[in-house]
Amino acid sequence: MSVSNLLANWSQFRQAHPTEGDFHKEYKWAMAIDLDACTGCNACSVACYAENNIPVVGKDRYARGHAMHWMRVERYWDEDNRDMPDQGAQFLPMMCQQCEAAPCETVCPAGATNHTPDGLNSQIYNRCVGSRYCSANCPFKVRYFNWWDFPKEENVFADPLPLQLNPDVTVRTKGVMEKCTFCVQRLTVAKHNARNEGRLVQEGEVQTACQQSCPTNAISFGNMVDPESRVGKQWKAQQVDLAADKQVKDAGDESHEVGEHHSGTQLRGYRIFEELRAYPSVMYLERVRESAV
């Protein structure tokens, strides 16, 4: 898209989200992660590296702030003064939350990140100027700046590793921002195949790499517009509303502020930083604590 076209249609790219009506007419991609099933094995993270040709920067570059991982597994320990909690550490897979009102979109000076009609927070590499405003404005810190010209200048994919690189994923250059795309290359193929057959993508027809590799089936992904989708049923069962900034789970427990997730109800679904009103497309299912067993 040309700059003139971008400027002429600026209001369309900067419309308010979440939107009402049929903006997500056919597809709204979303995810649900059951933290009670997550074992912190990092299979999702490794699969993300392989699927999206992400370079391994190494310990030294990581220490200099040059981290590069589209998906990370955060680890937390309960602060209850015990040396080793019975239930061990808690794990939280973290990636781009594909926010409906993404803070990164509004600060990009080049319009390189936009919201797509199927609910993705897109990243256009050849338009990105590397200002890093999007990273500064992302509350989840899941955007990464490419400091090196991988793999041309850096030996991050030693032979024969280049043979396993994914030809369907663009090779990013130095000076652009990167992040999780919900494996948009897989979504594009699935949508093209479905369109050629005159139908929509069916439940289970496409999976993200992290979902496919999870040994405990903790990650669900799909089209929320599809009433038969597993992820849509999970969101509905947990009464998590994509367009709400205060969910039933939090509203029903006045003893805790919004953002705290220790309700006495049976609902476990919540979104990270709900109170910031970014309206993420990733719902987490709270881990069942030992006190609740």
Report the pLDDT value the prediction gives residue 160, as an integer from 0 to 100.
84
What is the end-to-end Cα distance of the chain in Å, rounded? 54
Give 235's Cβ-side CA count (13 Å radius): 28
The sign of the CA dihedral 53, 61, 107, 92 is positive
Query: Quick check: is 69 in a domain?
Result: yes
pLDDT given at position 258: 45
Q: How far apart are CA 65 and CA 63, in angstroms?
A: 5
* Segment (H or E) for 213: helix 209-213
Collapsing DSSP to helix, strand or coil, 234 comes out as helix
In a domain, 290, yes or no: no
Query: Is 15 part of any domain?
Result: no
Q: Residue 5 domain-assigned? A: no
CB 282 within 8 A of CB 33: yes
- DSSP lists the bridge partners of residue 220 as 32
Given a cut of 90, is residue 156 above it in pLDDT? Answer: no
Residues in the chain: 293
CA distance 174 to 146: 5
Within a domain: residue 134? yes
Asked whether residue 199 carries a pLDDT value surpassing 90, the answer given is: yes
Pick the range with the lowest mean pLDDT from 12-26, 177-191, 249-263: 249-263
Count CB atoms within 10 A of the CB of residue 186: 19
| CATH number of domain containing 181 | 3.30.70.20
| Angstrom distance (rounded) from CA 35 to CA 141 | 20
- Reported as a pLDDT band with limits 50, 70 and 90, residue 193 is very high
> Which range has the worst mean pLDDT, 22-26, 178-182, 184-188, 227-231?
22-26
Q: Find out whether the peptide bond into 162 is cis, omega within 30 degrees of 0.
A: no
In this prediction, residue 293 carries a pLDDT of 47
Q: What's the confidence (pLDDT) of residue 11?
A: 63
Cα–Cα distance measured from residue 60 to residue 65, given in angstroms and rounded to the nearest whole number:
9
Where is average pLDDT lowest: 27-41, 83-97, 100-114, 124-138? 83-97
Indicate if the pLDDT at residue 256 is higher than 60.
no
pLDDT digits (tens, 9 = 90+) for 64-108: 999 999 999 999 887 777 666 666 788 999 999 999 999 999 899
Q: What are phi and psi of 213, to 5 degrees?
A: -90, -10
Domain range enclosing 139 = 23-249+264-285
In the chain, how many domains are there? 1
131: in domain: yes
What are the pLDDT digits (tens) for 265-291? 678 999 999 989 999 999 999 988 665
Q: Is residue 35 part of a domain?
A: yes
Would you place residue 15 in the very low, low, confident or very high pLDDT band (cuts 50, 70, 90)? low
CA distances from 148 to 102, 135, 177 (A): 26, 17, 12
Give whole-number Cα distances, 224 to 22, 218, 220, 234, in Å: 13, 17, 11, 10
Q: What is the structure's pLDDT at 17?
A: 66
Are 235 and 30 within 8 A, CB to CB? Answer: yes
pLDDT for 120? 93
Assigned domain for 187 exists: yes
Q: Enter the tokens of residue 198.
A: 């005159």
From CA 67, how far away is CA 80, in angstroms rounded? 31
pLDDT of residue 158: 77
pLDDT in tens, 200-222: 999 999 999 999 999 999 999 99
Distance CA 231, CA 235 (A): 6
